[in-house]
Amino acid sequence: MRADDLILDMLAEGVLKLGLSTVKPEAQDDSPTGRYMKDYYDQTQPHPLDRSQRIHGGGADFAMSEVRPVGDRIHISWLQAAESGKGLGSQALKHLTSLADKHGVDMDLSPVRPAGMRGPGLSNKGLRSWYGRHGFKSERGATDSMVRKANRRDVG
């Protein structure tokens, strides 16, 4: 499936929201989250229809993500591969977590399938397990939030 076809299918299903404003890195400062966001924008491509999302990869092999700084963490709002089972989501998540390690920032997310999402993809339980394999852990007392601490040894 070509990226253009997938995007049109997602629009038709109401899964993809249209961005109405240009989104630029929120932090233009030299803070760890600011440096993370600069690298994130420099190393990914803009989504053609939703300016809050970014594209990892190219051609038919790509994943989409949306991240934003929240306090001293990076929050992953959205991560979806063009095709399930090809490792595209894992590649994108590894890219996001390597940036977090590089800049010494923790990450968080809610491991739930977006409302209205149809078709292939992991269940909420599958998402928790998948994110767990990438270093995310449930926050104490929270059932809908996971955190990944940065590997600060990589911070230089």
Per the prediction, the chain carries an average pLDDT of 80
pLDDT of residue 118: 65
Non-local CB neighbours of 50 within 8 Å, separated by 6+ positions: 16, 17, 18, 19, 66
Class of domain 3-154: alpha beta
Query: Model pTM?
Result: 0.77
Assess whether pLDDT exceeds 60 at residue 48.
yes
pLDDT of residue 28: 61
Assess whether pLDDT exceeds 90 at residue 101.
yes
Non-local CB neighbours of 37 within 8 Å, separated by 6+ positions: 25, 26, 27, 67, 68, 69, 74
The band of 16, judged by pLDDT with boundaries at 50, 70 and 90, is very low
pLDDT in tens, 78-99: 888 887 788 888 999 999 999 9
Share of the chain above pLDDT 70, in %: 74
The band of 22, judged by pLDDT with boundaries at 50, 70 and 90, is very low
Q: Looking at 53-62, 63-72, 118-127, which range is the least confident one? A: 118-127
pLDDT of residue 50: 82
| Contact (Cβ atoms closer than 8 angstroms) between residue 142 and residue 110 | no
